[in-house]
Amino acid sequence: MSFDTRNIRNVVLLGHSGSGKTTFAETMLYEAKAISRRGTVEEGNTISDYTSIEQERGSSIFSTLLHANWKNAKINIIDTPGLDDFVGEIVASLKVADTAVMILNAKQGVEVGTEIIWEYIETFKTPAIFVVNQLDHEKADFETTLEQARARFGTKVIPVQYPVNQGKGFNAIIDALRMVMYVFPSGGGKPEKKEIPASEMDRAMEMHNALVEAAAENEEGLMEKFFEEGTLSEEDLTVGLRLAIAHQQIVPVFCCSATQNMGSGRIMGFINDVCPSPADRPDAELVGGGTLACKSDGPATVFIFKTISEPKVGLVSYFKIYSGVLKAGDELNNSSGNRSSERFGQLYIANGKNRDSVEELRAGDIGVTVKLKNTHTNNTLNSKGTDRQIDPIHFPESRIHVAIQPPSKNDMEKLMKALIGIAEEDPTLVIEQSKTLKQTLLHGQGELHLDITRYRIEKVNDVTMEFLPPRIPYRETITKEANTMYRHKKQTGGAGQFAEVHLRIEPYYEGMADPAGLSVRNK
């Protein structure tokens, strides 16, 4: 079954390491009945962190594509790492997401990683919502977290919910949008709806009115209705908030305990009802100018945003369809690189390492295929007769580098083959053969990034790699001005030889006259 563009939601889970993204993703799948049992990061059995290195470390290293059906929509979920060393995974995921779900740790508040990731959200102009997670922790502090978010990200951060009893006894949330209190059973799951207690009504109404005003500001008809009636219905609120979020004018804040499965269902409902579909987002920018609307009419345009290599399978390509309909067996032309023709023999939707075959996917959807021969991350493929390229992902430049050395010269070829394979998956990893230093250099985002690369090389390819300090490329330069003169005389009979040479040498500085403009004897 393929989903219409307007019934697709593409969300990326972002946040500082340890904020609970993977657990929240697991709970989303469970709430949508995509899985029958929730795994945990501690037990190493979550759908998202399925690689051995993630299970050993207890944290995400790679982005993982998941999906869940909710009511009449398909929600594609991309779980991402929280450490800045793996920023390439974050940037690639933001490229294809239509909503950023930023997970905040209720006991830590806004962390450094949160601020770094927010800068990428602003760069991509991605609509966002905040989820304050871990409200069941004894040190949870929703108010401080909210204050920090508003101080750092502005007054457009508006709470939709707040916890009644955060901490170890957490089990109740007041929803100011629906003006109801949700009370959860001890094991989490579906809450009971109750009236808001009188003691909480003033605070709830204050939040509700702020949401009404934010919604009304984005639609003239709603503003008139608000002035006439003094309030808006939930249906009107949905319309106004949908516009406000799509235009990045508000960032709603929700409450959750992913570990206890409290609050995630309501958030998924909000994503389905209010967050933008691919059709609601601005047209995609094309290389060379122009834009492309996300709709199923017309030729297919597919963008590869992630590539991995699997044993016994080969290259696995993750893609988003920016236009048209892609069917299993379709042949598309690669408009990037060598412009080869590629056959999409099989199409899949994914939940971690598990993939289900589908016959077709429509514009806005995200899918997976295997065994493309000459296609890589950032490539655009089109139906025959169409030649356009989606603006590529601009990965950040590397921040550190080391020299690498295998145990012996005989292992260098094996090591380089393994590194090239990993660099195919990770564009933020750069291999350089330095002729100046006569060393092989490995560039990355941080020490952990390079350490993980070495771990993968040794674990998968059975070749060790030593890190060495890069040699210093010593060069000589002029440090101060010097003047000298030489006079040449030679007389051996006949015509004599005479010359006088004046030499001045000095360091270059900005604004210095071009040497080509200097005159000698007015020439």
Residue 159 shares a structural domain with residue 17:
yes
Cα-based distances in Å from 258 to 115, 130, 132, 177: 22, 14, 10, 21
The DSSP string of 107-167 is TTBS-HHHHHHHHHHHHHT--EEEEEE-TTSTT--HHHHHHHHHHHH-TTEEESEEESS-S
The answer on pLDDT for 493 being more than 80 is no
pLDDT on residue 226? 76
In a domain, 289, yes or no: no
In a domain, 9, yes or no: yes
Residue 276 shares a structural domain with residue 319:
no
In a domain, 287, yes or no: no
Counting residues of the chain whose pLDDT is more than 70, the rounded percentage is 98
Residue 160 shares a structural domain with residue 80:
yes
How many alpha carbons fall within 13 Å on the CB side of residue 380? 20
Query: CA–CA separation, 421 vs 70, rounded Å?
Result: 37
The answer on pLDDT for 380 being more than 90 is yes
Please identify, among 383, 408, 427, the residue that sits at the C-terminal boundary of a domain: 383
pLDDT on residue 27? 98
Query: CA–CA separation, 392 vs 380, rounded Å?
Result: 9
pLDDT on residue 462? 84
In a domain, 388, yes or no: no
Q: List, for residues 21-64, the tens digit of each pLDDT value.
A: 999 999 999 999 999 999 999 999 999 999 999 999 999 999 99
Residue 407 shares a structural domain with residue 499:
no
Q: Is there a contact between 106 and 143 (Cβ–Cβ < 8 Å)?
A: no
Residue 407 shares a structural domain with residue 490:
no
The answer on pLDDT for 385 being more than 80 is yes
Q: List, for residues 212-247, the tens digit of each pLDDT value.
A: 988 888 777 787 887 777 778 888 889 899 999 999
In a domain, 391, yes or no: no
Q: How confident is the model at residue 12 (pLDDT cuts 50, 70, 90)?
A: very high
Residue 424 shares a structural domain with residue 319:
no
Residue 190 three-state SS? coil
Q: Is there a contact between 489 and 428 (Cβ–Cβ < 8 Å)?
A: no
In a domain, 77, yes or no: yes
Please identify, among 353, 383, 413, the residue that sits at the C-terminal boundary of a domain: 383
Query: CA–CA separation, 432 vs 168, rounded Å?
Result: 52
pLDDT on residue 127? 98
Residue 156 shares a structural domain with residue 267:
yes
> Structurally, how many domains does the chain consist of?
4
Counting residues of the chain whose pLDDT is more than 90, the rounded percentage is 82
Residue 46 shares a structural domain with residue 132:
yes
Instruction: Say which CATH number the domain at 203 has.
Output: 3.40.50.300
Please identify, among 383, 417, 433, the residue that sits at the C-terminal boundary of a domain: 383
Least trusted range by pLDDT, from 23-32, 341-350, 455-464: 455-464
Instruction: Say which CATH number the domain at 409 has.
Output: 3.30.70.870
In a domain, 389, yes or no: no
Q: List, for residues 254-292, the tens digit of each pLDDT value.
A: 999 999 999 999 999 999 999 999 999 999 999 999 999
In a domain, 429, yes or no: yes
Q: How confident is the model at residue 309 (pLDDT cuts 50, 70, 90)?
A: very high
Phi, psi of 305 (to 5 degrees): -110, -5
Please compute the mean of the pLDDT values over residues 412-440 and round it to a whole number: 94
Phi, psi of 92 (to 5 degrees): -65, -40
Q: How confident is the model at residue 523 (pLDDT cuts 50, 70, 90)?
A: low
The answer on pLDDT for 511 being more than 90 is no
Residue 501 shares a structural domain with residue 441:
no
Q: How confident is the model at residue 198 (pLDDT cuts 50, 70, 90)?
A: very high
Phi, psi of 17 (to 5 degrees): -55, 130
Instruction: Say which CATH number the domain at 369 has.
Output: 2.40.30.10
Domain extent at residue 350: 294-383
The answer on pLDDT for 494 being more than 80 is no
| Token pair of 394 as six digits | 């601009």
pLDDT on residue 353? 96
Cβ–Cβ contacts within 10 Å for residue 330, how many?
19
Residue 175 shares a structural domain with residue 60:
yes
Residue 244 shares a structural domain with residue 354:
no
Please compute the mean of the pLDDT values over residues 364-372 and round it to a whole number: 97
pLDDT on residue 232? 80
How high is the mean pLDDT of the chain?
94
Residue 438 shares a structural domain with residue 330:
no
Q: List, for residues 133-159, the tens digit of each pLDDT value.
A: 999 999 999 999 999 999 999 999 999
Please compute the mean of the pLDDT values over residues 87-108 and round it to a whole number: 98
In sequence order, the β-bridge partners of residue 444 are 400
Q: Is there a contact between 294 and 365 (Cβ–Cβ < 8 Å)?
A: no
The answer on pLDDT for 518 being more than 70 is no
DSSP state of 18: T
